[in-house]
Chains A and B, each alone.
Chain A
Amino acid sequence: MSLKQQTIAILVGVLALAVLPLTANTYWLRYSILILQYTGLALSWNIISGYAGYVSFGHVAFFGLGGYTGALLMLKLQTPWPLALLAGGVICAAFAWPLGRILLRLKGPYFAISMMGLAQVLRVIASAWQSFTGGGQGVSLPPENNLHFVYWGMLLVAAGMLYLTLRIDRSRFGLQLISIKEDEPAAEVMGVDTVSAKVRAFVISAVAPGMIGALYAWSLGYIDPASAFRGHITLNMISMTILGGAGTVWGPVLGGLTLSVISEELWARFPELYLSAFGGIVALSAMFMPRGIIAFWRQRQAKIRQHKGVTASA
């Protein structure tokens, strides 16, 4: 599909999905919000980790930071939710820029683990800074949220991220990111400003999680260190993107949709097994289909066809 066709597809999809809250009951609404939330997060993770190849094991840091930003603004300054949502994104971008300049100097695995540590440090700060964040008790918001607006907010953020990915995928910037993933020194020799490209990708991948975190805090009416910086949110981003196809436009959407449905079925009944299964998915996908399920399936089809061709001609 051409860029124009895909853009139209996204627009039609958003319009079709936008009417859903008018008919759905609360259960389906919460379910759809969850799917949109994880798809948006996976799309964000995909930019820095899928395209640029800098795997982040602590992207929940931005989700939590945005969540706290939004919640504290709404509680202390009575900020209206759309502004709190924007602030969540802005703060994350402002935080990610200097952070990226420091951490993205680290190569592959070092970056991965430094992000994991960052999420832990932010959690420690959120629980230790009693006077500002409410410590381990967390922040309770006045219960005046509206699930319809949460849904539309999530839809906008996720669709915006999808459109942005589509644009990046077809751009010079996208090619620069891929060249960094393939061979960073070579990219540099070819004249790519790798530092600037990496930092931009990092900032882009931090904004949506911040906004989603703020929406999440608003929809729950509550945020605490344990729920804001839960490791399994990072796990979801990674497993969804890897399964669907890291470094592709539609991979995180496919993975987000599939795994959200699976997790909803498993989560209520066997929470530990559900996380185990996601861990297994990450390990198996990375081992056997590092380019995701679509590429894997296409490759198999091509092989089968080739095989048939060989036997037919023989």
Chain B
Amino acid sequence: MTQVLVNGLLLGGLYALAAAGLNLIFGVMRVINMAHGEFLMLGAYVTFYSFSLLGLSPLVSLSLSMLITFGLGWLLMRFVIRRVIGAPELMSILVTYGLAVLIANLGLFFFEGVFRSVPAYSGSIPLMGLSVSKSRGIAFLAAIAISTGTYLFLKHTTLGKAIRATAQHAEVAVACGIDVERVRFFTFALGAALAGAAGSLLITFLSVTPSIGGVFILRAFAICVVGGLGSFMGALGGGLILGVFESLVAFGTNTQIAEAVAYFLLIMVLLVRPQGLLGVKE
């Protein structure tokens, strides 16, 4: 039982990392990025090819995949997302949904629809009477490190403060001399890079296909809703909660039914406590 909890917590750390980017983007520009899962997929494939073609360790290719997804996020912002900021939410959700389908299927075309994994770290470490899978442990620690780094960045740097200011009130931020356009570009690219990092780490212990984004977006969205939409810390908490819940349900029933956990959590929270379990009422 404790073993199940630990595994859930380890998985939750990665969920949190992926969802944090989605929440950050929503907080700053009120765009729900349906293509967020596709950045995760791209990050996973950067790591896969770095490992299988160049023999790079996942922890090395992690930075590479963050750089690439950061760049792609920037490009997507430049040519598409910029145009839908401020438009009705339904328009931005349709546009990013179309993009998600586009990218996922290009992925299927170029990367093939077979399960891929990166078995770089195998075996497990005994820890206080439990056995912790080495790859899960490493991935969790890396995810926590990146999340903490992002949190400190948001808290203490000038750009980080500008991002938080824009999220709170874009017009006032403009009046204070913040280049909101640049903040939005950076936030979107950063969010993409966080998803890319999560993908890189995920593929070290789970098999991945190019369709993983579509499976993942629902979880990421559930996490954001549970933790409170737009809140970075909320996403971290929500991720851990979902990871533990899913592992418990998978343990009690089977993994198929566990897939539905995210959905029920999402609906319940939306109906009963729309500001999120950890969120504050506006």
Contacts and interface: CB of A to CB of B under 8 A. Distances in A.
Are A and B bound to each other? Answer: yes
Interface of A: 53, 55, 57, 102-103, 105-106, 108-110, 112-114, 116-118, 120-121, 124-125, 127-128, 231, 235, 238-239, 242, 270, 272-273, 275-276, 278-284, 286-287, 290
Nearest to B262: A117
Contacts of A117: 218, 222, 262-263, 266-267
Q: Which 6 A-B pairs give the minimum distances between C-beta atoms? A: A279-B101, A283-B98, A282-B98, A279-B102, A117-B263, A272-B109
Contacts of B102: 276, 279-280, 283
Given A102-B271, A124-B257, A109 B108 contact: no
A110 B270 contact: yes
Given A102-B271, A113-B218, A280-B102, A121 B260 contact: yes
Contacts of B97: 57, 238, 279, 282-283
Interface in B57-73: none
B94 A286 contact: yes
Interface residues of B, number: 42
A273 B105 contact: yes
A42 B15 CA distance: 34
Given A283-B80, A283-B98, A109 B263 contact: no
Most central of B91, B94, B108, B214 by chain A CB within 10 Å: B94
A112 B98 CA distance: 13
B interface: dominant SS: helix
In the complex, which of the residues A102, A116, A279 has the most CB atoms of chain B within 10 Å of its own CB atom?
Answer: A279
B157 interface: no
Given A109-B32, A231-B214, A283 B105 contact: no
Nearest to B215: A120
A235 B211 CA distance: 15
A270 B105 CA distance: 11
B2 interface: no
Nearest to A288: B83
Contacts, number: 114
A276 B84 CA distance: 20
Given A120-B260, A278-B101, A114 B266 contact: yes
B52 interface: no
B3 to A, nearest CB: 24
Contact of A275 (B101, B256, B259, B270): B101
A105 B263 contact: no
B90 A109 contact: yes
A109 B93 contact: yes
Given A55-B93, A118-B263, A124-B260, A279 B270 contact: no
Given A108-B90, A116-B218, A276 B101 contact: yes
